[in-house]
Amino acid sequence: MTLFNRIVLIVVLVPLAVVLIALAVANRTPAAFTLDPFNPGNPALTIQLPLFFLLFAALVVGMIVGSLATWFKQGHYRKLARQRGIEAQAARDASARQSRTVAAGPALPKPSA
């Protein structure tokens, strides 16, 4: 583990973990989560969950949606990079073939019988 990784771990991740644990401890009371906005009292579509769970679930869903949006948005650039990689490989192969034929020398004419 490099020194930079340790510094990042200590400076960023440890305080972040402390804040998230404090958030979870402070928000332990149950909160109603309902899937029916027109009838929030409907017990069939309402569940009681600790508020920190709802907050963390929203954070995870947001990260997944953002990651997918970025991935789809950058698809064009990944395709372009793949094409350029294939073209570069073809150019390297052609260069290698050409250098082999040059190294072998010019072809001699066929002897006439």
Q: Express each pLDDT in 14-24 by its tens digit.
A: 898 899 889 88
AA letter at 108: L
Q: Tokens 């970025």 sit at which residue?
A: 70
Q: Which domain holds residue 21?
A: 14-95
- The span from the CA of 19 to the CA of 73, in Å, is 32
For the chain, what is the total number of helices (H) and then of strands (E)?
A: 4, 2
Residue 8 falls inside a structural domain: no
Q: How high is the pLDDT of residue 105? A: 58
pLDDT in tens, 42-68: 888 888 999 889 989 999 999 999 999
Counted domains in the chain? 1
Q: Per-residue confidence at 106, pLDDT binned at 50, 70, 90?
A: low
User: What average pLDDT is seen over the chain?
Assistant: 86
Residue 112 falls inside a structural domain: no
Closest among 83, 36, 33, 82 to 53, alpha carbons compared:
33
Q: Find out whether 26 and 8 touch, Cβ atoms under 8 Å.
A: no
Residue 102 falls inside a structural domain: no
Residue 109 falls inside a structural domain: no
Residue 78 falls inside a structural domain: yes
